[in-house]
Amino acid sequence: MEKKASNITVQALQRMPYYLHCLEQARDNGIKTISATSIANELKLNDVLVRKDIAAVSSTQGKPKAGFPVDELILDIIDYMGYNDKKDAIVVGAGSLGRALLGNHEFEGYGLSLVAAFDIKPELIGKEINGIPVYHISELETFCSEHRVPIGIITTPPDVAQGIADTFCRVGIMAIWNFALTRLDVPEGVLVQNENLASSLAMLSHHITK
């Protein structure tokens, strides 16, 4: 299938998992075609926005009134987002958050395959979490070099995160999912996606106290 042009916004990209989930639900309910308006209503989004997002990834044009074929649109999104190509990822930090990520089977549906975890706690090394082996952090560089892992996930305390990011970049990791409360310095071309629970919490807290 021809790849559509990649002129899509960050926000549109972030909406894709929602569209996919909505379409899969529709399919499971036996729905064959769906309009952008129905998707917009379901997701409480503006329907012009949804129409534009869908047009950017759909391989077919929606039919007036009937809308888009659900099965095809699901495949288009999966294809566009690269969810079919399994991308290996490693997790550094096997604490409670690291474990939650290692235990999350949903990620596989989004093309992420967690292949190893790293930590420093002796009681974790050599064990498996959800079938995924835990290695000592000293093996990180060798492992990444040998396995050419493209995605690294950091769930460590903030003070060691930059050192891990440096190692990631040295061994060719292209995208870092950073759950540590610190900002990372990385070379151009490496994407850092910060996932900051404390920042979200700040929003909630402020809303309550204001």
**What does the alpha-carbon distance between residue 70 and residue 95 come to, in Å, rounded to a whole number?**
40
- Out of 1, 64, 131, 206, which residue is the one contacting a second copy (CB under 8 A)? 206
Is residue 25 near a second copy by the rule CB under 8 A? yes
- Out of 39, 67, 83, 92, which residue is the one contacting a second copy (CB under 8 A)? 83
- Which tokens sit at 114? 């967690």
Q: What are residue 112's DSSP bridge partners?
A: 87
Is residue 100 near a second copy by the rule CB under 8 A? yes
Q: Are strands 132-136 and 112-119 parallel, antiparallel or unpaired?
A: parallel
Q: What are residue 175's DSSP bridge partners?
A: 151, 191
Tokens 């190692």 correspond to 167
93 phi, psi to nearest 5 deg: 110, 105
Which CB atom, from 1 or from 203, has the smaller least distance to a second copy? 203
Q: Are strands 87-92 and 151-154 parallel, antiparallel or unpaired?
A: parallel
Is residue 182 near a second copy by the rule CB under 8 A? yes
Q: Which amino acid appears at position 53 of this protein? A: D
Is residue 49 near a second copy by the rule CB under 8 A? no
- Out of 99, 117, 137, 165, which residue is the one contacting a second copy (CB under 8 A)? 99
Chain residues binding a second copy by CB under 8 A are 6, 10, 13-18, 21, 25, 43-45, 81-83, 85, 87, 96-97, 99-100, 103-104, 106-107, 110-112, 150-151, 158-159, 174-175, 177, 181-183, 185, 191, 193, 195-210
